[in-house]
Each structure stands twice: as structure tokens, then as C-alpha cells.
């Protein structure tokens, strides 16, 4: 029998942003890969909706606002004292900001960077603590093609997603000594609730033009979840510090 390379049996994975979109689908798919999943987001009710769709036993809800970034390492330490060390961390939590430069404020810029970037750094800081991660564990950060190519109207969001890619590379070098791999996925336009809200801000012509920039069309959350699972599993044992672009060809032009 050929082994399933994405089998995550016996592994515990924390997924942030698990209340919707890519985070919710990643949690569901990882449970289908036999992982025990810890769901993290602010809204417990929506996390319970995700939990109801998970496969297998042993999953857990951890309602927490990642905007309180300073509290993350201690929160993770307490969590792992109860659950045991984690084998994976998937950081899908974050916010989108569609403010053009002319109306961007320092307050808004710092808010986006805090939620998207500071939380990622503090999650990694918490993950590396003694008793919080297992040998051969993996961190996957969700960036975006907005961090790789220029997009008008989203300076705060693009800056935050580019920062995550830079953070990923540095963390990969710093945490390799502990046997922790760190990688990113960079999705294009994905059909999620956030994507639909962004699409609603565009005219039909603008939305059609955006889709035309994706040679394979818009993506789905599952397209990204496959990449996340690959980077968590033994299939990526020799991969760290890289960004897996999942964009239907958007950046190929």
C-alpha cells in the first residue's frame, strides 16, 4: 500500500483565523488529514461552526483576539501546558485594508501591521518556547500576492503581506536550530467572505478585469489548504524559508 504523504495522524496543529475563509477550510482539511486541530479566532460562535465540520475527535476551540499581540506567547505557553507540544502552526488570521494612500493614516497602517505582522511574530515566539513545539514541527504563514506585486489602493495590506514574507525568511534561519521549519503561502484572489467583500467594492468591469489577471480563474480556499497541508506534512521536510505562490498564474505575467 502506498502511504498517504499528507497523513497528519498524531499531530496537533493550531490554526488562527479558523472562523472563516482560508482558516476555516484549512482547519477542516487538516482534520481530514487526521490532525488534531486547535481552532483560534475571536468569535467563539463561529469557531463552533467550524468545529462542527471537523473530522475525528480531540479538537479544541481557543477563542482569542490576536490584536492583543503582546499576550500571545504567554497564552500559547498556557495552552500547550494543557494540550502538549504542537506539531504545526498555521497563521491565517488577519485583516484586509483597501485604503488608498491619500486617505491612509498612521493609525490605520499600524493597526493592520499589528494584526497581520506583529501577531505572526509573537505566535512564532510563543511556538519556539520550551514545551510548545515538537521536533520537526512547521509554521505556515499566510501572505498574499499583494506582498509580491504592486496593487494600487492597498498600501497597508500589501506592506503587511510583504513583511510576512520577510519575517518568514528570518524565522526560518533563526528557528532551524530547533528543527522548526517556517514557510509562507501567497494566494491570489480566493473566493472567501473577505474576497466577496472586496469584490463587492469593484464594478462588474473591474471584477472581470481582476479575474482575467488569473489565467486559471479565481481560486477556492481548498486550493490554498492543499498547499498548507503540504508544507506541514513530511512532504516538505526539506523546505523552509520559502513562499509557495498559489495564485492561478496571477504573478506569472
- Residue 199: what pLDDT? 60
pLDDT beyond 70 at 197:
no
Give the domains, in start order, of the chain with CATH numbers: 12-243 (3.40.50.720)
- Residue 196: what pLDDT? 66
- Residue 132: what pLDDT? 98
Can you tell me the mean pLDDT for 172-197?
90
- Residue 195: what pLDDT? 60
φ, ψ of residue 180 in degrees (nearest 5):
-100, 125
Mean pLDDT of the chain: 93
pLDDT beyond 90 at 200:
no
Sorting pLDDT into bands at 50, 70 and 90, what band is 201? low
Can you tell me the mean pLDDT for 183-208?
79
Can you tell me the mean pLDDT for 18-25?
96
> CA torsion sign, 111 to 117 to 120 to 126?
negative
CA atoms within 13 A on the CB side of 214: 19
Range from 137-151, 190-204, 231-245 carrying the lowest mean pLDDT = 190-204
Burial of 226 (0-12, 13-18, 19+ CB in 10 A): middle
| Cβ–Cβ < 8 Å for 184, 242 | yes
Query: How many angstroms separate the CA atoms of 246 and 59, rounded?
Result: 28
Can you tell me the mean pLDDT for 136-152?
93
Catalytic site residues?
A: 157
| Cβ–Cβ < 8 Å for 123, 180 | no
For residue range 49-60, what is the model confidence (pLDDT) as tens digits?
Answer: 999 999 999 999
Can you tell me the mean pLDDT for 32-48?
97
- Residue 164: what pLDDT? 97
Which grid coordinates belong to 56? Answer: 475525528
* Cα 93–chain centre separation: 6
Can you tell me the mean pLDDT for 156-178?
97
For residue 15, list its beta bridge partners. 39, 90
Tell me the whole-structure pTM to 2 decimals: 0.94
Which grid coordinates belong to 40? Answer: 483560534
For residue range 95-120, what is the model confidence (pLDDT) as tens digits?
Answer: 888 888 899 999 999 999 999 999 99
φ, ψ of residue 158 in degrees (nearest 5):
-60, -40
Q: With H, G, I as helix, E, B as strand and everything else as coil, classify residue 157.
A: helix
Can you tell me the mean pLDDT for 9-16?
97
Can you tell me the mean pLDDT for 144-160?
91
Amino acid at each position: 500500500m502506498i502511504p498517504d504523504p499528507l497523513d497528519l495522524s498524531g499531530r496537533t496543529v493550531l490554526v488562527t483565523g479558523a472562523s472563516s475563509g482560508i482558516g476555516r477550510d484549512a482547519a477542516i482539511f487538516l482534520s481530514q488529514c487526521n490532525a488534531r486541530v486547535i481552532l483560534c479566532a475571536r468569535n467563539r460562535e463561529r469557531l463552533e461552526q467550524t468545529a462542527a465540520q471537523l473530522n475525528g475527535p480531540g479538537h479544541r476551540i481557543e477563542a482569542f483576539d490576536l490584536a492583543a499581540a503582546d499576550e500571545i506567547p504567554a497564552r500559547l505557553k498556557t495552552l500547550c501546558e494543557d494540550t502538549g507540544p504542537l506539531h504545526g502552526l498555521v497563521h491565517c488570521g488577519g485583516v484586509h485594508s483597501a485604503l488608498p494612500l491619500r486617505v491612509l493614516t498612521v493609525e490605520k497602517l499600524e493597526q493592520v501591521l499589528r494584526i497581520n505582522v506583529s501577531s505572526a511574530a509573537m505566535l512564532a515566539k510563543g511556538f519556539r518556547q520550551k514545551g510548545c513545539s515538537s521536533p520537526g514541527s512547521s509554521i505556515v504563514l499566510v501572505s498574499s500576492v499583494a506582498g509580491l506585486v504592486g496593487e494600487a489602493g492597498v498600501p497597508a495590506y500589501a506592506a503587511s503581506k510583504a513583511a510576512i514574507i520577510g519575517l518568514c525568511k528570518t524565522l526560518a534561519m533563526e528557528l532551524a536550530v530547533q528543527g522548526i521549519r517556517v514557510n509562507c503561502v501567497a494566494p491570489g484572489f480566493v473566493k472567501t467572505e473577505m474576497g466577496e467583500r472586496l469584490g463587492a467594492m469593484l464594478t462588474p468591469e473591474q471584477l472581470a478585469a481582476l479575474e482575467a489577471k488569473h489565467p486559471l480563474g479565481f481560486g477556492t480556499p481548498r486550493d490554498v489548504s492543499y498547499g498548507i497541508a503540504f508544507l506541514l506534512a513530511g512532504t516538505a521536510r526539506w523546505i523552509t524559508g520559502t513562499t509557495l505562490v498559489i495564485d492561478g498564474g496571477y504573478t506569472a505575467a
